[in-house]
């Protein structure tokens, strides 16, 4: 919000000048100088967490940029599903600092978590997404043998142009072994990469040929279903292949590839996170990096986003001057 205040300065009679004992009066006409002093509130932080039940995504189409300046954006994909056996991969995190202009429109989708078997509920469904959904887990001869679904990708668009995509985690493989195959984590750019961020492969090294996990085959004595791949920037991530008998697992799903648009991009460095720690938590439950740093398991989460205002154009050019005349 901007509040403009007109400040009027009036210059009146100038002081007398004394020259060699002779006093002379000099006059100046009244003159008015107008200045606009602009007061702008800090937009603060906008956060959204996909809390939908099941595998559903959340889509928001109308976030209007409130103020011109530099914003940190953090985005996280949906986790891959975990069944009784294999753990799902965590959704990827992509982040950066972008220059945004007041009035531009941000739209985003937050990917759903992959289907997982939990508390006796059978769910191998894919994590939904308004960008790219995850793959479905493969069928099996029993719920404990089914592959889990891949997490849905999260994506951010600025005036219709794709800005960020965070890949979903791959679904865990089905099976009864003591050494389950975990899904691949969604790709992340925490080292400042831009462009397409390559997928992370699922375990067991037996990728299928589509995003969905392969179904079991009794004729081939393949009782276990493969995990679905995480949704991503492209379709180059694959679900796990069917496989395994009573003592071995099928393949788990790949994590989804991610994407970071390099236009007007700056890396969100550890130093910046430390400077703006109140807006970008470096520890605790709201730290998006920490949430996505490790392979999944019992805590299956859906996509998340954080948009935090950092500084104005004026502050970028004149660090010592916080309020610049407009």
Is the pTM above the cut of 0.85?
no
pLDDT in tens, 11-54: 333 333 333 443 443 333 333 333 333 335 788 888 787 777 77
Query: Which letter does DSSP use for residue 285 in this model?
Result: T
Beta carbons within 8 Å of 57's beta carbon, 6+ residues apart: 50, 78, 109, 110, 111, 112, 127, 128, 129, 130, 133, 152, 302, 303
Domain ranges in the chain are 44-313
- How is residue 49 written in tokens? 């967490």
The whole-angstrom separation of Cα 311 and Cα 326 is 16
The whole-angstrom separation of Cα 295 and Cα 68 is 37
Inter-residue contact 165 to 151 (CB < 8 Å)? no
Mean pLDDT (whole number) for 259-264: 95
Please, which pLDDT band fits residue 213 given cuts at 50, 70 and 90? confident
Percent of the chain residues past pLDDT 70, beyond the cut: 71
* Cα-based angle 241, 235, 301 (whole degrees, multiple of 5): 75
């Amino acid at each position: 919000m901007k509040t403009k205040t007109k400040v009027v300065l009036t210059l009146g009679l100038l002081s007398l000048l004394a020259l060699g004992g002779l006093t002379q009066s000099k006059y100046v006409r009244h003159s008015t100088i107008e200045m606009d002093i602009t007061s702008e509130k800090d937009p603060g932080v906008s956060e959204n967490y996909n809390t939908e039940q099941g595998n559903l995504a959340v889509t928001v189409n109308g976030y209007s940029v409130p103020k011109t300046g530099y914003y940190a954006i953090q985005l996280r994909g949906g986790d891959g599903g975990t069944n009784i056996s294999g753990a799902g991969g965590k959704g990827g995190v992509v982040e950066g600092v972008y220059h945004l202009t007041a009035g531009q429109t941000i739209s985003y989708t937050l990917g759903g978590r992959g289907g997982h078997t939990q508390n006796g509920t059978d769910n191998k469904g894919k994590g939904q997404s308004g960008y790219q959904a995850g793959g479905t887990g493969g069928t099996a001869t029993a719920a404990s043998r089914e592959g889990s679904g891949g997490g849905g990708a999260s994506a951010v668009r600025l005036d219709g142009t794709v800005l960020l995509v965070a890949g979903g985690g791959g679904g865990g493989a089905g099976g009864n072994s003591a050494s389950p195959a975990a899904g691949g984590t969604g790709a992340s750019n925490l080292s400042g990469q831009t462009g397409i961020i390559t997928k992370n492969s699922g375990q067991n090294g037996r990728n299928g040929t589509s995003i969905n996990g392969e179904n079991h085959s009794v004729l081939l004595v393949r009782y276990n279903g493969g995990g679905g791949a995480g949704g991503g920037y492209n379709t180059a991530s694959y679900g796990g292949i069917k496989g395994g008998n009573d003592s071995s697992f099928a393949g788990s799903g790949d994590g989804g590839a991610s994407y970071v648009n390099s236009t007007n991009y700056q890396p969100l460095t550890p130093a910046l996170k430390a400077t703006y720690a109140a807006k970008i938590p470096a520890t605790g439950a709201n730290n998006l990096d920490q949430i996505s740093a490790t392979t999944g398991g019992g805590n299956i989460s859906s996509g998340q986003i954080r948009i935090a205002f950092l500084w104005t154009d004026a502050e970028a050019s004149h660090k010592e001057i916080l309020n610049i005349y407009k």
